[in-house]
Structure 1
C-alpha cells in the first residue's frame, strides 16, 4: 500500500477551512442584507408618515398632535441613525469575512499547486525511468544482433 502524501491531508484541512469561511461570509452577507432591508423599511415608514402629515396640510390640527408627530419623526430618525450604524458594522464584518475567505481560498490553491508540481515531478521521473529502460532494452537488442 502506497503511503499517502501528507499534503493530501493538508489539502483536506485547507478545503474544509475554506468551506467554513465561505459559510461565514454567506452569513455575514445575509446579515448585511437584513440590516439594509430594515433601514429601507424605516426610511419608507418615515416617508409614508411624512406624506400622511402632508395630507393634513391646510387643515386644522391640534398643537398636541403636531408635537406628537414631530416627536415620533424624531424617534424614527434616531432609529434610522442607529440602523445606519448597524449597516456599517455589518458591512465591516462582511468585509472581514470576505478577506478571511479569500485567504483560506488562496491557501487551498497553494496546496493544490504544490500537489500538482509534485505529481508533474513524479511523472517526469517515471518517464525518465521508462526511457532509460527502453534505451537499455534497445542497446541490449543491438548488442545481441551484433554478437550473432
Structure 2
C-alpha cells in the first residue's frame, strides 16, 4: 500500500503543479492580450496622426507644426517598436508557460495510466484467485460426490 500512497501523493502534487501552470498560462495570455491591445491602439494613433499630417500638408502647414507632427510620429514609432518587442517577449512567455502546462499534463496522464495498470493487475490477480478457489471447490465437490455414490453393480 505504500506505493499507492506515494503514487497518490505524486498525483496530488502534479495536479497542484498543473493548476499553477494553468494559472500562469492564463495570466501570460491576459498580459499578451493587453500588450496586443496597446500595440493596436498605438498603430491606430499612428495611422490617424499620419493622416492628419497628410491633410495638414495638403492645406499648408507651418514649419514648427510640421516638426511637432514629425516628432510626435517619431515618438509613436518608437512606442510601437517597444510594444512590438514587448509582444514578442510576451509570446515567448506564453510559449514557455504552455510547454510547462503540457509537461505537467503529460505527467498527470502518465500517473493516471500507472494507476489504471495497477488496478487492472489487482483485478486480474483477484480474478485468478477466485478462479482457483472455484476450481478447488469444484474438484473437492467432485471427489466428495464420487465417494458418496454407491458402488456400481458390475455383475449384471
Q: TM-score range by the shorter chain?
A: over 0.9
Q: Which residue of 1 aligns with 2:151?
A: none
Structure 1: state its 5+ residue gaps: none
- The TM-score with structure 1 as length reference comes to 0.95
SS state at 2:57 partner: coil
- The TM-score with structure 2 as length reference comes to 0.90
In the comparison of the two structures, how many residue pairs are matched?
147
Q: Which residue of 1 aligns with 2:48?
A: 48
CA RMSD of aligned residues (A): 1.3
- Give how far 1:85 is off: 0.6
CA distance in structure 1 between the partners assigned to 2:143 and 2:58 by the alignment: 117
Q: Which residue of 1 aligns with 2:29?
A: 29
Q: Which residue of 2 aligns with 1:82?
A: 82
Q: Which has the higher contact order (CA 8 A, sep 6+)?
A: 1
- Give how far 1:10 is off: 1.1
1:84-110 per-position Cα deviation (integer Å, ceiling 9, x unaligned): 110011000111101111111111111
Structure 2: state its 5+ residue gaps: 149-156
CA distance in structure 1 between the partners assigned to 2:92 and 2:17 by the alignment: 21
Q: Which residue of 2 aligns with 1:12?
A: 12
Which runs of structure 1 show a deviation greater than 6 angstroms over 4 or more consecutive aligned residues? none
